[in-house]
Homo-oligomer: A and B are copies of this chain.
Amino acid sequence: MSNAKKIVIADDEPDILEILEFNLSAEGYEVTTAKNGDEAIEKAKRTSPDLIILDIMMPGKTGIEVCNLLRMMPPFKDTLIIFLTAMSDESTEIKGLETGADDYLTKPISSKILLSKVNSLFRRLNKEESTIVKIGDIEIDREKYIVKKKGEDIILARKEFELLALLASKPGKVFLRNEILNQIWGTEVIVGDRTIDVHIRKIRQKLEMDCITTVKGVGYKFEL
């Protein structure tokens, strides 16, 4: 899966770095580590991570300074940032949140809590972004009602779009004709047999690709 979430962790304590990296990697995240603030910024620029975990107390730039710098750069305007802090000092916590961090964790860190928190943050983010589906050259945006192939817009009518979106929602899965009818036309409306075929044909025509496969006697599936 190339869509593994990327995380950059910055902490000056090698032990912590290692523990966090181990745990997050085990969970399937793509982890990059940094020993200090500057390295964190540099790695962030290079890897475009989905989440940045910053220790507040670091030699050189503090996590808060790093966060401030990152927030000034457009690519990191909305990137998730979590602070790590040994202090249970309230004012620090607040400063952190108001700097634009999305959360903070207090050391000593329980890996279970960290993972929960990370997963939880991503869960929220995923919901917002699930409107866009990318499969190879094809990009389907449910919100914008747009289908793109290699960046070029392809105009689909409503039913065509819905049908494609349905099939593409689970690439590889074979959708039975009945399933498709229920999902797109609903149970009340009854349409003839050829209706689905015709829509499928139009999609194939417009996409100019063979990404919808017929499974005879069963249904259709979206692939490649």
**Interface residues of A, Cβ cutoff 8 Å to B:** 77-78, 90, 93-94, 97-98, 100-103, 110, 112-113, 116-117, 119-120, 123-124, 127, 141, 143-146, 157-158, 170, 172-174, 215-218, 221
Assuming A90-B110, A112-B94, A120-B102, is B143 touching A218 (CB within 8 A)?
no
B98→A120 contact, CB < 8 A: yes
Please name the 4 residue pairs, one residue from A and one from B, whose CB atoms are nearest each other, closest first.
A97-B116, A158-B217, A145-B174, A97-B120
Beyond known contacts A97-B119, A97-B120, A103-B103: 4 more, CB 8 A cutoff: A93-B116, A94-B112, A97-B116, A144-B173
Residues of B within 8 A of A157 (CB): 216-217
Q: Which residue on B lies nearest to A175, using beta carbons? A: B143
Residues of B within 8 A of A110 (CB): 90
A116: contacting residue among B98, B119, B123, B141, CB under 8 A: B98
A116→B94 contact, CB < 8 A: yes
Residues of B within 8 A of A215 (CB): 145, 158
In the complex the two chains form, what is the Cα distance from A221 to B153 in whole Å? 15
Residues of B within 8 A of A221 (CB): 144-145
In the complex the two chains form, what is the Cα distance from A158 to B145 in whole Å? 28
A113→B93 contact, CB < 8 A: yes
Nearest chain B CB to A60 CB, angstrom units: 26
In the complex the two chains form, what is the Cα distance from A102 to B123 in whole Å? 9
Assuming A174-B145, A218-B145, is B113 touching A101 (CB within 8 A)?
no
Residues of B within 8 A of A144 (CB): 172-174, 221
A102→B124 contact, CB < 8 A: yes
A143: contacting residue among B78, B174, B216, B217, CB under 8 A: B174
In the complex the two chains form, what is the Cα distance from A170 to B144 in whole Å? 9
Assuming A173-B144, A218-B158, is B102 touching A90 (CB within 8 A)?
no
Residues of B within 8 A of A113 (CB): 90, 93-94, 97
Assuming A90-B110, A102-B124, A110-B90, is B117 touching A216 (CB within 8 A)?
no
